[in-house]
Amino acid sequence: GEAAPGVRAFRTVGRALLRQPRLLAWVAPVVWASLIFQLSSLEPGTAPLAFDALGGLVTNLAHPAIFGILALLLVPVLGRVRGEDGRRWTSMTPESALWVVALVTLYGFTDELHQSTVEGRDASLLDVLSDFTGALAVVLVVRFLGRADASDRGLRRALLVALLASLAAAGLSTLWDHFIGDSPWPF
C-alpha cells in the first residue's frame, strides 16, 4: 500500500540522496567532515553559531545533530536495493549500519583529539557519546524507513526516541561540565 505522508516525505529525501552515483556519494560526507574539522579548529566564542544558551545545552546538543548529518551523508555510500514499490532505497544491513555508526563515532573521537590541541578548547568523551547518539539515531530512523510497514506513528516514535536520546547525551555533558568540571578525557 501507499506510505503515510510523513514516511513518504522522509523517503523522498532519502531517495534524493541515493540518486547520486556511489563514488560521487563520498564527496558530501568528506566535505561535511572537513567542515566539522574546521569548526573544531576555532577558538571558543569565534565559531559562527557559538552560543551558551541554557548553560551549554544548545552547544552540546549540536553534537548529535552534526554527527547525525554525517551518518546520513554516509548512507548513500552503502549499497542500494529496489523496495517493494520498485523505488530505490539503501540496502543498509545491521552490519553496515554498525559500520556507519562506528565510523562516525571514530571520527568524533578523532575530532575531540584534534580539539584537545586547539587553544581554549578541550576534549570530552561525553561529546563522543553525543556523536555516537546522533549517528545511531539516524541509522535507526533510516532502517525504520526501509521497512515495508513503516508508519507515521512509528516514524514519530523513532524521531522522539532520537530526540530524547540526543537531549539525554547533551544534558549529561552539560550537567557534567556544570557540576563536576572538565569532561572525562583519557589523554
**Confidence grade of residue 59 (pLDDT, cut at 50, 70, 90):** confident
Cell of 109: 573521537
Evaluate if pTM is beyond 0.85.
yes
CA separation for the pair 171, 58 (Å, rounded): 9
pLDDT of residue 187: 64
Q: Is 121 helix (H, G, I), strand (E, B) or coil?
A: coil
Provide mean pLDDT across the span 9-28. Answer: 86
In this structure, of 12-21, 108-117, 139-148, 162-171, the range with the lowest mean pLDDT score is 12-21
Q: Is 67 helix (H, G, I), strand (E, B) or coil?
A: helix
Write out pLDDT tens, residues 126-156: 999 999 999 999 999 999 988 888 889 999 9
Query: Which amino acid does the sequence have at 170?
Result: A
